[in-house]
Amino acid sequence: MSEYQLQEIPVGPYKHLVSERAISGETMILNMGPQHPSTHGVLRLVLELDGEVIVNCIPEIGYLHTGVEKNMEAKTYLKAEVMTDRLDYMNNMGNNLAYVMAVEKLVGLDVPERAQSLRVILTELQRIASHLVWLGTTALDLAAMSVFLYCFREREIILDIFELVSGQRMMVTYFRPGGVWRDVPVEFESAVRNFIKIFPKRIDEYEALLTKNPLWLDRTVGIGKLDAATALQHGVTGPTLRASGVNWDLRKARPYAGYDQYDFNVPIETKGDTYARYLVRVQELRESLKIVEQALNKLPIGPVRSENRKFVPPPRSELGTSMEALIHHFKLWTEGFPAPKASIYSAVESPRGELGVYLEGDGGPKPYRVHWRTPSFDNLSVLPKIVKGHLVADLVAILASIDIVLGDIDR
Amino acid sequence: MDTRLEKIVQVLQEKTGATFEEFRDEVHVFVDAEKIVDVLTFLRYEHDFALLSAMTAVDYWPKEDPRFHVIYQLTSLTQNLSLQLRVPVNGSQPKVPTATGVFDVANWREREIMDMFGIEFEGHPDPRRILMPQDWDGHPLRKDYPLGYEEPQFTFNFEEIDLRKPYVKE
């Protein structure tokens, strides 16, 4: 007999979460993850199974906990921004935006028009990139390999645009309090126009592969139904909520960064199953592209950073000639700028839902408390409710359809 | 302040004697720990604050007493309003009644606060740590929990930094 046997995990710590049949040994407790390819990161699921049917599901998170909130308390407002890229690594621009908007709200800083438009273009491109990764990996989980390759091909174009503007493909830190890091290079417009030209056809290709594919329909229609009331009780936001028929999008409800100037729809589906969540995200790809095109068409000319030197470093060209510029530069990068002793909550619509930042200052140059209200955390908490009674193979589809990012959950 | 929000705050003041603060159009209402479940139920069912957007805590050690604030960020989708409730909690035996009966999302959010701040939520159905390992000592987001590196000491601030070192307290 081999010494490596399949082992059931002890029921002890989960006694209050499993059914009585697990304690008598009638059902099986099985471990899934934390290194399972279909859990989209280091997520561990403890499953109670009756044959192949899920009786209970207990998510165990924290394997990617990096203490970002604690670390940010020890850094100045400017330096802490670098950590925000690492939270939700599929939505780096969006995290930057959430953070800089919180800082701007706390200290009362203005942002020039051009910077606002650039922020909209780049966060919408980021939303497309994030949804592409979601679409690719979800299709991969459901054994449609080719979609994954096509999605990553298009995502590459977006990452190249990010590299063009910030020098980095993923950890961009491009938005800064009071504007953006520096103006975009001249190649930016043609690069984005090129993407706008080719991408609609590519969405049609994905849809041709999936939307009416009988295998895809078999795996997604009616799987993992989530009704609106349960979703709201669990704080679910973003496309997952909109697929359950709730019209709530912070870009429409509380427009920020000039979203009220653009004409776009918020896709809604009412079924609340895995297929509805797929449809919402695919339609969002088209809507985001519409916003990018409109913003690019009326991209204003002008400064990209606020002129308020107490919060925004002066341009490099002034350092050699202006004493004040040198002093401001020195003060900002050594001591940082002070923020009032007050707290604010500011939220943006990330590809996964409401990404909120609770930011509290204490009058000094470092944040007193930063809390990240991350959408994946709340979205995952609804999983145990919607997987009950489904097969293990469907769990993979449901988990993929709520689009979690573990860096976003564990922070 | 929005007039609809003003009315709600007024009702809360009459019902519970709560005080409020305003900063950059955000309203923070201070509620006692014993009344928090009633207030949440009232706002959830009477005023349609259906979404508990965020829930967190702040540690004001050693400057302020009570030491903690537990924060509930509520959103009403139908009225497009936001309201923040803050519950001051004593530092010696921090306890707040659980809100899991009103909002399901409070389950994980309260586990996180329990884990990070050591605030107990009475009646919580699943009081385990959520982010840190189950056998972890201490609560990382408390202000007296060291960040994990040592501050350099110089002759002019040697004693000041020495006081902050974790071994001093033992």
| CB contact A246 to B (< 8 Å) | yes
Residue B100's domain comprises: 3-164
User: Which run of H or E residues covers position A379?
Assistant: helix A375-380
> What value does the mean pLDDT take over residues A315-334?
89
The more confident residue out of A95 and A6 is: A95
For testing contact with chain B, the best of A376, A378, A406 (most B CBs within 10 A): A378
> What value does the mean pLDDT take over residues B97-119?
91
Nearest to A371 among B56, B77, B130 (CB): B56
Please, what is the average pLDDT of chain B?
86
**pLDDT at site A2:** 52
Nearest to residue A41, comparing CAs of A18, A59, A14, A67? A59
> What value does the mean pLDDT take over residues A284-290?
92
Q: Which CATH number is B123's domain given?
A: 3.30.460.80
Distance CA A220, CA A203 (A): 19
| CB contact A71 to B (< 8 Å) | yes
Q: Name the percent of chain A lying above pLDDT 90.
A: 50
The answer to whether position B37 is within a domain reads: yes
The answer to whether position B169 is within a domain reads: no
The answer to whether position B34 is within a domain reads: yes
Distance CA A124, CA A347 (A): 16
Nearest to residue B84, comparing CAs of B3, B17, B8? B8
- Looking at the predicted structure, is the pLDDT value of residue A98 above 90? yes
> What are the helix (H) ranges across B76-151?
106-117
**pLDDT at site B4:** 83
| CB contact A342 to B (< 8 Å) | yes
The answer to whether position B159 is within a domain reads: yes
Q: How far is CA B100 from CA B37, B51, B77, in A?
A: 9, 13, 20
Judged by CB atoms within 8 Å, which residues 106-135 of A form the interface with B? 106, 108
Half-sphere exposure of A20 (CA within 13 A, CB side): 0
**pLDDT at site A6:** 57
Report the SS3 class of residue A5.
coil
Distance CA A45, CA A60 (A): 6
- Looking at the predicted structure, is the pLDDT value of residue A5 above 70? no
Nearest to A248 among B56, B77, B129 (CB): B77
User: Residue A13: closest CA among chain B residues belongs to which residue?
Assistant: B128
The DSSP string of A160-188 is HHHHHHHS-SS----EETTEESSPPPTHH
Report the SS3 class of residue B111.
helix
Nearest to residue A181, comparing CAs of A75, A73, A289, A85? A85
What confidence category does residue B6 fall into, taking pLDDT thresholds of 50, 70 and 90?
Answer: confident
The pairing of strands B95-97 and B120-122 is: parallel
Q: Which residues of A touch B56 (CB under 8 A)?
A: 358, 371, 373
Tokens of A396: 């993979």
Distance CA B45, CA B146 (A): 42
Distance CA B64, CA A358 (A): 20
Cβ pair B54:A230 closer than 8 A: no
**pLDDT at site A127:** 93
**pLDDT at site A1:** 47
Cβ pair B53:A347 closer than 8 A: yes
Name the least confident of A15-19, A62-66, A88-92: A15-19
The number of folded domains in chain B is 1
The answer to whether position B21 is within a domain reads: yes
Q: Could you check whether the bond before residue A34 is cis, i.e. omega within 30 degrees of 0?
A: yes
Cβ pair A70:B53 closer than 8 A: no
Nearest to B84 among A106, A345, A368 (CB): A345
Q: Which residues of A touch B28 (CB under 8 A)?
A: 343
Q: Which residues of A touch B62 (CB under 8 A)?
A: none
- Looking at the predicted structure, is the pLDDT value of residue B128 above 70? yes
Name the least confident of A27-41, A85-99, A239-253, A290-304: A27-41
> What value does the mean pLDDT take over residues A283-288?
92
User: Residue B102: closest CA among chain A residues belongs to which residue?
Assistant: A233
**pLDDT at site A358:** 93
Show which residues on chain B lie within 8 Å of chain A, measured between beta carbons: 23-24, 26, 28, 50-54, 56, 58-59, 71, 73, 77, 80, 82, 84, 103-105, 107-109, 116, 125-126, 128-134, 140-141, 145, 147
Q: How far is CA B28 from CA A89, A342, A364, B31, B105, in A?
A: 32, 11, 22, 10, 21
- Looking at the predicted structure, is the pLDDT value of residue A123 above 90? yes
Amino acid identity, position A187: E
Answer whether A343's CB lies under 8 Å from A107's CB: no
Nearest to A377 among B80, B108, B128 (CB): B108
Distance CA B143, CA B134 (A): 21
**pLDDT at site A407:** 87
What confidence category does residue A368 fall into, taking pLDDT thresholds of 50, 70 and 90?
Answer: very high
What confidence category does residue A290 fall into, taking pLDDT thresholds of 50, 70 and 90?
Answer: very high
Distance CA B78, CA B80 (A): 6
Q: Which residues of A touch B82 (CB under 8 A)?
A: 345
What confidence category does residue A135 fall into, taking pLDDT thresholds of 50, 70 and 90?
Answer: very high
> What value does the mean pLDDT take over residues A367-373?
92
Amino acid identity, position A122: L
> What value does the mean pLDDT take over residues B2-25?
82
Nearest to residue B57, comparing CAs of B77, B36, B80, B79? B36
| CB contact A34 to B (< 8 Å) | no
Nearest to B105 among A65, A67, A234 (CB): A234
Distance CA A148, CA A132 (A): 8
Nearest to B105 among A105, A233, A347 (CB): A233
Distance CA A129, CA A139 (A): 15
How would you label A119-132 residue by residue, b for 16+ Cβ within 10 Å and e otherwise? bbbbbbbbbbbbbb
| CB contact A265 to B (< 8 Å) | no
Distance CA A352, CA A95 (A): 12
* ipTM at complex level: 0.85
Task: At A222, give phi and psi (nearest 5°).
Answer: 75, 5
Distance CA A174, CA B44 (A): 39
Answer whether A216's CB lies under 8 Å from A135's CB: no
The answer to whether position B170 is within a domain reads: no
**pLDDT at site B21:** 82
What confidence category does residue B144 fall into, taking pLDDT thresholds of 50, 70 and 90?
Answer: confident
> What value does the mean pLDDT take over residues B8-36?
85
| CB contact A69 to B (< 8 Å) | yes
> What value does the mean pLDDT take over residues A104-126?
92
> What value does the mean pLDDT take over residues B139-149?
81
Nearest to A358 among B54, B116, B132 (CB): B54
> What value does the mean pLDDT take over residues B140-155?
79
**Residue with tokens 């290079």, as numbered in its chain:** A185
Q: Name the percent of chain A lying above pLDDT 70.
A: 98
Please, what is the average pLDDT of chain A?
89
**pLDDT at site A291:** 93
Task: At B86, give phi and psi (nearest 5°).
Answer: -125, 130
Nearest to A360 among B58, B126, B130 (CB): B58
Q: Label residue A281 exposed, middle or buried (CB < 10 Å: 0-12, 13-18, 19+).
A: buried
Nearest to residue A350, comparing CAs of A102, A94, A128, A121? A94
User: Residue B132: closest CA among chain A residues belongs to which residue?
Assistant: A62
Q: Which residues of B touch A354 (CB under 8 A)?
A: 53
- Looking at the predicted structure, is the pLDDT value of residue A385 above 70? yes
Min Cα–Cα distance to chain A from B15, Å:
25
The answer to whether position B61 is within a domain reads: yes
What confidence category does residue B11 fall into, taking pLDDT thresholds of 50, 70 and 90?
Answer: confident
CA-atom Rg of chain A in angstroms: 23
| CB contact A44 to B (< 8 Å) | no
Distance CA A38, CA A400 (A): 8
The answer to whether position B42 is within a domain reads: yes
